Amino acid sequence: MKKLIAIVGTNSDQSTNRQLLQCMQKHFANDAEIELAEIKDFPMFNKPVDKTLPECIQKLAAKIDAADGVIISTPEYDHAVPAALINALNWLSYGIYPFVDKPVMITGASYGVLGSSRAQAQLRQMLDAPELRARIMPSSEFLLANSLTAFDADNRLLDRESVKKLDGLFADFMIFIDITAQLNHAHNQNKKEAKEFSWDKL
């Protein structure tokens, strides 16, 4: 069974993105072991000169490195991903490179009708950065709109079309992980380039 890390892309205690990942964790329990990971206690990124990372960052990096794939669920604030998620990715690409060639599925929930579409587009761009170099599943937006009323009392999605869409995308992600595992011939070079990359040298 595949092991996935599902990152709650916000520091909010009452996020429907956490609900969405908890829903997926239960709904796909027979297909994958999904462990939720929080970023709300991460300190503000301060680019430590000695590159000593907080323990919470090291632990999440190790889990990502060991996982078969990663799911990130992001809300949308002012047409962008939350500052907390940007902060987490800053830490997770500073002297450590767990996302290099790692399969990533992006989801998102929002209170409005657009379902974090702009934030997801921005997150794709960020994950493609030279220091991250994740492999993001293409053409795979899951946009959960009106998320405050999207779940029942047992935290299951109410809309059957949304369930069908999520089922299809998750099945595709399982295949995407298998395909990505075969695209590993340049992995060592990719990681080397990520380590050696510096904006100061451009």
Tell me what percent of the residues of the chain surpass a pLDDT of 90. 89
Question: Could you give the C-alpha distances from 24 to 4, 91, 151, 155, 192, in angstroms and in order?
Answer: 11, 26, 12, 10, 34
Tell me what percent of the residues of the chain surpass a pLDDT of 70. 99
Domains and CATH numbers, the chain: 2-201 (3.40.50.360)
Q: Phi-psi region for residue 85, left (φ > 0), alpha (ψ -120 to 50) or beta? A: alpha
The pLDDT tens digits of the residues spanning 59-93 come to: 999 999 999 999 999 999 999 999 999 999 999 99
The pLDDT tens digits of the residues spanning 135-182 come to: 999 989 999 999 999 999 999 999 999 999 999 999 999 999 999 999
pTM, full prediction: 0.95
Question: Could you give the C-alpha distances from 173 to 13, 87, 103, 185, in angstroms and in order?
Answer: 28, 26, 8, 21
Cα 40 to Cα 37: distance, rounded to the nearest angstrom: 10
Residues 39 and 74 sit within 8 Å (Cβ to Cβ)? no
Residues 67 and 5 sit within 8 Å (Cβ to Cβ)? yes
Tokens linked to 123: 């997150």
The pLDDT tens digits of the residues spanning 26-43 come to: 999 999 999 999 999 999
Residue type, 40: K
Cα 130 to Cα 167: distance, rounded to the nearest angstrom: 31
The residues, any chain, with a CB within 8 Å of residue 170's CB and separated by 6 or more, are: 24, 28, 31, 105
The pLDDT tens digits of the residues spanning 184-193 come to: 999 999 999 9
How many Cβ atoms from other residues are within 10 Å of residue 3's Cβ? 13
Cα 99 to Cα 7: distance, rounded to the nearest angstrom: 13
Q: Which residue has the tokens 């595992």?
A: 181
Tell me which residue of 20, 5, 4, 50 sits closest to 147, measured CA to CA: 20
